[in-house]
Structure 1
Amino acid sequence: MRYNMIKSIRETPGILKNLKIGEEVERILENDFNRVIFIGCGSSYFSSLAGAYVLNKVSDIQSSAFPASEFMFHFAKMAKNSLVIASSRSGNTAEVVEAIKVAKQEKATVVGVTCNGNSAITELADIVIAAENAEEPNIPATKSFSAITYILQKIAIKLAHAEEMEREIEKIPDVIKNMLKNEERYRELAKRLAEKDAFIHLGSGSGYIAALEGALKIRETTYTLNEVFPALEFRHGPMALTNHGNKFGYFIIAPKAIGFDAILRLLEEIKHLNPILITNLSCEYSNTIQIPWQGDESLILIPAVLPFQIIAYYISVYRGYNPDYPKKLVKFVDRF
């Protein structure tokens, strides 16, 4: 049986290629603000991390990302004279809606990013960017995650006036289209991983954000424990988890960046556990998923997450679960 989740994943390149956000971004640039705050929940929070990551790496603009609940409970005062970019696939996520109200009380300019052009945040936000046809019927976010991440990264690039990155990000839809040709290999990896008791994800740079989202996809669809650590932090306590041996599956997400050699040394230490390395660098290690990305490290996130989406889907199917509708999950959370 083919579920909607895999269909949604396969639709990602077309969705990204058809996103049109130029006019809205120009309106954002007309505003004065002293910092940028990205907020969201679940996958949209990880998309928010991606937006802030780009700004922090390539500009001097102060930027932060928060789960919407943490922002409104603990950091609302930061919204004063700020640009707040609030993301929600449904546009109706309770914490995001309430956080927008809190931000507006602090006189923030609010940008709403959603896949639903007729929703609560579109009524509240000062500027709205809606990702057309990006909301999927399945509960786990797939093409919607990619679309929202793409939009937030484009906004960050525009704010940073990073012209080279503007050209680079336009290549992502074709990179994803090319990677989808490897679906069979990802399926085979899923079959090998289907009996694992838990999963450990180690990431560095933008690879850490990819690890967070990848872990969420496997967690949602397979009901297994997924732990995520900044790669080199693994030696500082979490290494004890390797005592479980091959009962756990391991992923290391390491884009080309300063520190890659240190990640390879860590890989060598846990090589006996057969971790899967996800990288855009050529590597002699056999258990590698090669990402065909040669642009800025901060933009590898969407391509790096794609294998996780497909692997999560197939592990779920191999276990006899329904990846479209994981138990105890809903399309959006309408209360808190």
Structure 2
Amino acid sequence: GIADCAREFTRARRIIMTACGTAWHAALVGEYLFEELARVPAEVEYASEFRYRNPVVNEGTVVIAVSQSGETADTLAALREAKQRGALALGIVNVVGSSIARDTDRGIYLHVGPEIGVASTKAFTGQVAVLTLLAIYLGRRKHLSQHAAEALLQGLANIPDQIAKVLECSDYAREIANNHADRENWLYLGRGYNYPTALEGALKLKEISYIHAEGLPAAEMKHGPIALISEGMPVVVIATRGTQYHKIIGNI
């Protein structure tokens, strides 16, 4: 567990998360969390790119490999590259005893059960939850107040009930899908923490429906992509009531 390397982790000067696909989107949420809650510089690297370039890994760098299976070849290779350069290597995986789990210095298992479908779903939720807990853990050892940490933990505890409420909207979602099933191009937009959600939503539409979709930061629409909008093109906007809610409404 992470507690076995608590001192090294707490002294991290920089956090690099390396992943592919859905895990990369979860890691992007992690980047925002580490910087906001722990005030530690964080970044996300595509494992397939990280392993083939000459990455800067300094003393105090912590590399976190995120993978559902724990066998993603590029992520495993990126992890080994980071270890060779002296980084503290941590892993977040779902499959117990997987290659990444064995090669990391320490790590966390998701324990969300096997992914039955091709698309990663509950693993994504589990990865975001674990990264949130890690960011809180690190934040509490720096500047994050107990009150703020408890509020975040309560938010995590509320998620099952909130998911149940979302599932009550399945008939509405089915109606939207039926009305737009013939559309060949979709756009997903979000800001802040909702940008990785937009990326993941677009990926799920590609994987499950074989429909072209793109996820973008909402504010980037005016820098070129808006030229591709045509009449009837579905645009999915993730507009939760957070700090950037009024901004996203303006984009709509």
User: What TM-score do the two structures reach when normalised by structure 2?
Assistant: 0.89
- Residue 87 (structure 2) pairs with residue 108 (structure 1): yes
Q: Which runs of 5+ in 1 are unaligned?
A: 1-23, 268-336
User: Which of 55, 61, 65 is the aligned partner of 1:86?
Assistant: 65
Which residue identity does 2:187 align to in structure 1?
A: I
| Residue-by-residue CA offset, 1:30-77 (whole Å, 9 max, x unaligned) | 323221111110000111101111112233211111111222233632
User: Which of 190, 196, 202 is the aligned partner of 1:209?
Assistant: 196
Question: SS at the partner of 1:117?
Answer: coil
- Residue 180 (structure 2) pairs with residue 193 (structure 1): yes
Change (3 A) 1:172 1:25: farther
Change (3 A) 1:77 1:118: same
User: Which of 207, 210, 214 is the aligned partner of 1:220?
Assistant: 207
Correspondence for 2:239: 254
For 1:95-244, what aligned pairs fall within 5 Å after superposition? Answer: 95-161=74-140, 162=144, 163=149, 164-242=151-229, 244=230
Which residue identity does 1:30 align to in structure 2?
A: R
Q: Give the Cα–Cα distance (whole angstroms) in 1 for the partners of residues 117 and 188 of structure 2.
A: 24
Question: SS at the partner of 1:30?
Answer: helix
| Residue-by-residue CA offset, 1:153-185 (whole Å, 9 max, x unaligned) | 211121112413233222222221232222222
Which residue identity does 1:208 align to in structure 2?
A: Y
| Residue-by-residue CA offset, 1:211-240 (whole Å, 9 max, x unaligned) | 000000001112221122211211222111
Q: Give the Cα–Cα distance (whole angstroms) in 1 for the partners of residues 58 and 180 of structure 2.
A: 43
Correspondence for 1:263: 248
Change (3 A) 1:177 1:233: same
Which residue identity does 1:78 align to in structure 2?
A: V
Q: Give the Cα–Cα distance (whole angstroms) in 1 for the partners of residues 5 and 162 of structure 2.
A: 28
Deviation at 1:132, TM superposition (A): 1.7
Quick one: higher RCO (CA 8 Å, sep 6+), 1 or 2?
A: 1
Deviation at 1:28, TM superposition (A): 4.4
Correspondence for 1:319: none
Change (3 A) 1:165 1:40: same
Which residue identity does 1:149 align to in structure 2?
A: V
Could you list the structure 1 runs, at least 4 aligned residues long, displaced by more than 6 angstroms after superposition. Answer: none
Contact 2:37 2:135 (C-alpha < 8 Å) held by counterparts: no
Q: Paired residues, what number?
A: 242
Question: SS at the partner of 1:201?
Answer: strand
Change (3 A) 1:152 1:258: closer
